[in-house]
Amino acid sequence: MPERVVTIVPEDGLHARPASKFVEAANEFDSTVKVGHVDGDQVNAASMLAVTGLGAAAGDEVRLTAEGEDAEAALDELERILTTPEDEL
Amino acid sequence: MTERRLSGIGVTPLSGVGSVVWYAPDADLEEPPEPETIDVDAETDRFERARDDAREEIRAERERTAERVGEAEAEVFDAHVQFLDDPQITEGVEAAIEDGLPAEHAVSRTFDRFVEQFEGMEGRMAERADDLRDVRDRLVRVLVGGDRVDLANLPEGSVVLAERLTPSDTAQLDPDRVAGFVTATGGRTSHAAIFARSLALPAIVGVGEGLHDVADGAEVVVDGTEGTLVVDPDAETREAAAGGEDVEIREEPVETADGTPIEVAANVGTQADLAPAADRGADGIGLFRTEFLFLDRQSPPDEEEQYEAYRDALERFPDGRVVVRTLDVGGDKPIEYLDLPEEENPFLGERGIRRSLGPDADLFETQLRALLRAAGDDAGGKLSVMLPLVSTVEEVREAREVLEAVAADLEAEGVDHVVPEFGVMIETPAAAFVAPDLVEHVEFFSIGTNDLAQYVMAAERGNSRVSDLGDFRQPAVLRAIRETVEGAEGTDVWVGMCGEMAGDPELTKLLVGLGLDELSMSAVTVPQVKRAVTETTVADARALAKRALAASTKAEVEAVLTETTQ
């Protein structure tokens, strides 16, 4: 299963705005996408509650995994969101 | 009655006087009926219908907020829709209904579980608890058919007190009627605080439990500078807050203590910013961003719609100047119908004037037509047109040719118009270097300090790792400002500044000394900057600027600045 480890850039971490963009994007792909701290549990990337519940801060490393036809495209887009400063999203 | 004081965190440097209106959204539920009496299918249907209605409400509120407060503030409502539709919420509510709870109780129980979880987390994550409560209360209200408390129609001079204000609550507050708000919880970065700053409302957050002892109807002073709520203020306190030194609004233009006039104007990013700008005594608009007219829609605004918007702004400032910046978009601001290219470095890519002279040439022409027509209107105010992200003389020459062609077209069509003052933003080092050559083609410069600092220092604005470099107290930034002012010396070209640097009253003296003719900032600090201008003499200011320009490090610049304020 394709996976990627990404360091979070938005300075306040995965809070409302970046989290919202992240969840929105995860919902746009057919693949099932999961996200979690590198050494923690994986949660559903299409759930706002689950994603904000991670409490992921700037500088944290998270692991993204995707399963499905468009897995690589989904990972590309989600990685882009996690590595873009908040005011450019 | 003697006055009492409560302290919290002041979030705007503004004061207000008024009477307390306690706001407590009523979400109390009666005891649930016996589980056996619940029709699971009917309750599940009720929940689903309520969710559809709530979603509609949130979307409508999002639109209103984008219009009144701003696009960035409105995005919190996107998160609300996502919480509403979250699979974990749906599962939780359905399971609770299966257990025999009516829909409203099922909603309440499910959300409360997550609210608790978020309350235990740190920093901005704890604010998600507020969002969840907001969504929960909305769903419960829709289910029990309750009316929402109408915060938009409070009596004039109300000071709203609440345990907390959700984004939905805050978006309803009408700055023309409400004298301020105070909450028991919340911090500087809470939604309520951000909204207060955008709407220029006096506000204090985080006062704590003691707030609940303040009675409905009590007279209070909200001192947003000190973060103090004064209950039953005596006459002196009340007067100080209403017209006190801290917030004296000067309607008239100001000059330095030795008689040099300095124009103090406001930056506006949405139509909703116009009223606060006038109320705070701005002489005019130093930066009218036009992006808001183009965002969040399927096609660009037509000439008529733009003309109306520009005329509205001129009518607010019948004796002032309104500097309208032409559309400044690029790879970093998404507008679907413009089909912006993906770029490796959007800040160094096709943005601002580069698009207006390239792929967006038609839009540029339409915008200029609307601007020339508005300038020709007898609204009274004087309209100026400003180009963003200029870096060469050719760009300005070419833009001027378009301007003249548009004027010739309007003339041929017999449409009323005036060719307005024409200027450029100085926000690239290139523009600062060629300032002496640009003066032949423009009537004014306006220095955009946020972008200028970003480009001079090669340090991205949004990146906290390099924020120390992107500071406008860096000697290189000050010298770029000097280059610009010197470029205009001995000509009729006036030099203004729009950007955060202009809005810091502690830097006013330095900016006067550097030779700025106009300062433009968010409306909130206009009175403080006007006061700072009147307390400055040009001779002192020049001496200060000279010392600051001689400094070789940011620390030395800061030392020069603090030395003189002591």
Q: What is the pLDDT of residues B231-270, one digit of tens each?
A: 999 888 887 776 544 558 899 999 999 999 999 999 988 7
B361 is in which domain, residue-wise?
Answer: 260-563
Q: Which of helix, strand or coil describes residue B302? A: coil
Query: Which residues on chain A are in Cβ contact (under 8 Å) with B89?
Result: 49
Which 3-state string (H, E, C) describes B443-485? Answer: CEEEEEHHHHHHHHHCCCCCCHHHCCCCCCCCHHHHHHHHHHH
Nearest chain A Cα to B131, which residue? A16
The shortest C-alpha distance from B254 to chain A (Å) reads 35
Contact present, B232 and B244 (Cβ < 8 Å): no
Annotated binding-site residue? B451: yes
Q: What is the spatial distance between Cα B461 and Cα B449, in angstroms, rounded to a whole number?
A: 11
Selection from B112-126, B191-205, B242-256, B535-549 with the highest mean pLDDT: B535-549
The H or E element that residue A32 is part of is strand A32-37
Q: Do residues B191 and B293 share a domain?
A: no
Position B246 scores a pLDDT of: 54
Which residue out of B128, B133, B345 would a mutagenesis test of the A interface target, given it has the greatest number of A Cβ atoms within 10 Å? Answer: B128
Query: Which residues on chain B are in Cβ contact (under 8 Å) with A50?
Result: 86, 88
Q: What is the spatial distance between Cα B210 and Cα A5, in angstroms, rounded to a whole number?
A: 47
At B495, give phi and psi (nearest 5°).
Answer: -120, 125
A56 touches chain B (CB under 8 A): no
Q: Do residues B11 and B56 share a domain?
A: no
Annotated binding-site residue? B311: no
Annotated binding-site residue? B450: yes
Query: How does residue B565 score in pLDDT terms, banded at 50, 70 and 90?
Result: low
Position B320 scores a pLDDT of: 93
Contact present, B214 and B161 (Cβ < 8 Å): yes
Is A48 in contact with B114 (Cβ distance < 8 A)? no
Is A53 in contact with B117 (Cβ distance < 8 A)? yes
Q: Is residue B250 part of a domain?
A: no
Selection from A53-62, A76-85, B396-405 with the highest mean pLDDT: B396-405
Q: Is residue B282 part of a domain?
A: yes
Is B128 in contact with A13 (Cβ distance < 8 A)? no
Query: Which residues on chain B are in Cβ contact (under 8 Å) with A87?
Result: 461-462
Q: Do residues B221 and B351 share a domain?
A: no
Q: What is the spatial distance between Cα B323 and Cα B288, in angstroms, rounded to a whole number?
A: 6
Report the half-sphere exposure of A22 (CA within 13 A, side-chain side).
Answer: 32
Q: Which of helix, strand or coil describes residue B188? A: coil
Domain boundary among B243, B276, B305: B243
Residue A28 C-alpha from the chain's centroid: 13
Position B28 scores a pLDDT of: 66
DSSP 8-state assignment for residue A55: -
DSSP structure string for chain A: --EEEEE--STT-SSHHHHHHHHHHHHHSSSEEEEEETTS--EETT-HHHHHHT-PPTT-EEEEEEESTTHHHHHHHHHHHHTS-GGG-
Q: Do residues B69 and B171 share a domain?
A: no
The H or E element that residue A7 is part of is strand A3-7
Is residue B169 pLDDT above 80, yes or no? Answer: yes
Annotated binding-site residue? B303: no
Q: Which of helix, strand or coil describes residue B113? A: helix
More confident of the two residues A3 and B386: B386
Q: What percent of chain B has pLDDT over 90?
A: 60
The shortest C-alpha distance from A56 to chain B (Å) reads 9
Position B566 scores a pLDDT of: 45
**Those residues with Cβ within 8 angstroms of residue B303's Cβ, 6 or more apart along the chain or in another chain:** B366, B369, B370, B373
Question: What is the per-residue pLDDT across B480-522, written as a single tens digit (0 to 9) for each?
Answer: 999 999 999 999 999 999 977 898 888 999 999 999 999 998 8
Q: Is residue B44 part of a domain?
A: yes
Position B245 scores a pLDDT of: 43
How many Cβ atoms from other residues are within 10 Å of residue B549's Cβ? 17
Residue B45 C-alpha from the chain's centroid: 41
Averaged over B442-464, what is the pLDDT? Answer: 89
Tell me the average pLDDT of chain A.
89
Q: Write the residue in A13, A47, A55 that is nearest to B88 by C-beta.
A: A47
Q: Is residue B119 part of a domain?
A: yes
Is A16 in contact with B128 (Cβ distance < 8 A)? yes
A41 touches chain B (CB under 8 A): no
Q: What is the ipTM of this complex?
A: 0.86
Q: Is residue B30 part of a domain?
A: no
Ordered by start, the domain boundaries in chain A are: 3-88
Q: Do residues B404 and B458 share a domain?
A: yes
Name the domain count of chain B: 3
Selection from B28-32, B40-44, B115-119 with the highest mean pLDDT: B40-44
Q: What percent of chain A has pLDDT over 90?
A: 56
Q: Write the residue in A17, A46, A50 that is nearest to B75 by C-beta.
A: A17
Query: Which residues on chain A are in Cβ contact (under 8 Å) with B83?
Result: 48-49
Annotated binding-site residue? B461: yes
Query: Which residues on chain B are in Cβ contact (under 8 Å) with A55?
Result: 121-122, 125
Contact present, B135 and B80 (Cβ < 8 Å): yes
Averaged over B125-137, what is the pLDDT? Answer: 84
Position B130 scores a pLDDT of: 82
Query: How does residue B69 score in pLDDT terms, banded at 50, 70 and 90?
Result: confident
Q: Do residues B368 and B472 share a domain?
A: yes
A18 touches chain B (CB under 8 A): no
Q: Do residues B236 and B269 share a domain?
A: no
Averaged over B164-172, what is the pLDDT? Answer: 82
Using the structure block, give the residue that is written with the tokens 């032409």: B326
More confident of the two residues B224 and B306: B306
Averaged over B69-97, what is the pLDDT? Answer: 90
Q: What is the spatial distance between Cα B1 and Cα A8, in angstroms, rounded to a whole number?
A: 55
The angle formed by the CA atoms of residues B192, B194 and B195, to the nearest 5 degrees, is 65
Q: Is residue B553 part of a domain?
A: yes
A52 touches chain B (CB under 8 A): yes
Classify residue B390 as left (phi > 0), alpha (psi -120 to 50) or beta: beta
Q: What is the spatial distance between Cα B227 and Cα B11, in angstroms, rounded to a whole number?
A: 7
More confident of the two residues A11 and B265: B265
Q: Do residues B339 and B393 share a domain?
A: yes
Position B481 scores a pLDDT of: 98
Q: What percent of chain B has pLDDT over 70?
A: 95
Query: Which residues on chain A are in Cβ contact (under 8 Å) with B110?
Result: none
Is residue A21 pLDDT above 80, yes or no? Answer: yes
Selected catalytic residue, list A4, A15, A37, A63: A15
Six token digits for residue B175 = 């700055």
Is A15 in contact with B121 (Cβ distance < 8 A)? no
How many Cβ atoms from other residues are within 10 Å of residue B476's Cβ? 12
Question: What is the per-residue pLDDT across B362-372, written as a single tens digit (0 to 9) for each?
Answer: 999 999 999 99
Q: Write the residue in B78, B125, B462 that is nearest to A52 by C-beta.
A: B125
Radius of gyration of chain A (CA): 11
Domain boundary among B187, B208, B243: B243
The shortest C-alpha distance from B348 to chain A (Å) reads 13
Axis-axis angle for helices B103-119, B127-144 (nearest 10):
170
**Those residues with Cβ within 8 angstroms of residue A21's Cβ, 6 or more apart along the chain or in another chain:** A81, A89
Contact present, B347 and B354 (Cβ < 8 Å): no
Six token digits for residue A58 = 């700037």
Tell me the average pLDDT of chain B.
89
- Say how many CB pairs under 8 Å bridge A and B: 63
Q: Which CATH class is domain A3-88?
A: alpha beta
Closest CA to B46 of B93, B113, B80: B93
DSSP 8-state assignment for residue B149: P
CATH code at position B165: 3.50.30.10
Is residue B467 pLDDT above 80, yes or no? Answer: no
Q: Do residues B222 and B352 share a domain?
A: no
Q: Which of helix, strand or coil describes residue B350? A: coil
Is residue B228 pLDDT above 90, yes or no? Answer: yes
Classify residue A13 as left (phi > 0), alpha (psi -120 to 50) or beta: left
Q: What is the spatial distance between Cα B50 and Cα B145, in angstroms, rounded to a whole number?
A: 10
Q: What is the spatial distance between Cα B458 and Cα B470, in angstroms, rounded to a whole number?
A: 8
Nearest chain B Cα to A26, which residue? B82
Is B75 in contact with A20 (Cβ distance < 8 A)? yes
The shortest C-alpha distance from A72 to chain B (Å) reads 18
**Strand ranges (DSSP E) for B113-218?**
158-162, 178-183, 203-205
| Prediction pTM value | 0.59
How many Cβ atoms from other residues are within 10 Å of residue B338's Cβ? 17
Catalytic residue ranges of B? 191, 498
Q: What percent of chain A has pLDDT over 70?
A: 100
Q: Do residues B308 and B206 share a domain?
A: no
The shortest C-alpha distance from A3 to chain B (Å) reads 23
Report the half-sphere exposure of B481 (CA within 13 A, side-chain side).
Answer: 31
